[in-house]
Structure 1
Amino acid sequence: MAKINKRRKKIFDMLKEHQTGLSGEFMSQQLGVSSRTIRSDIKALQEYLVEYDIRIISSPNKGYRFNKFEQLDTAEQNLFQEGVSNLETAKQRINYILYRLLENTFKDIVITQNDLAEEMYISLSTLKMHLNEVKDILQKYDLKVTQYKTKGIKVIGEEVKIRYCIVDMINTCSTEKFFQKILANVDIELLDKIIKETLSYKKIQLADRSKEKFCLHIAIGMQRSNCNKFVS
Structure 2
Amino acid sequence: MELKSRQTYILRSLLDAEQGLTSSYLLQVLGIAKRTLYYDVEKINDYLAQYRMGRLVIGGQRIRAEISDRAALDRQLRKNSSYFFSVAERRAMEILYISLASEVVTINRVMETFDVSKNTALADIKMIREELEAPQRHQGGLSDRGRGGHHPQAAVGPVPQAEQPGGHLCRQELSPAEHGGPHRQRHRLPEAVPLPHQTVRVRH
Question: Could you tell me the TM-score, scaled by structure 1's length?
Answer: 0.34
Determine which structure has the larger strand proportion and give its number. Answer: 2
**Which gives a bigger RCO, structure 1 or 2 (Cα 8 Å, sep 6+)?**
2
Determine which structure has the larger helix proportion and give its number. Answer: 1
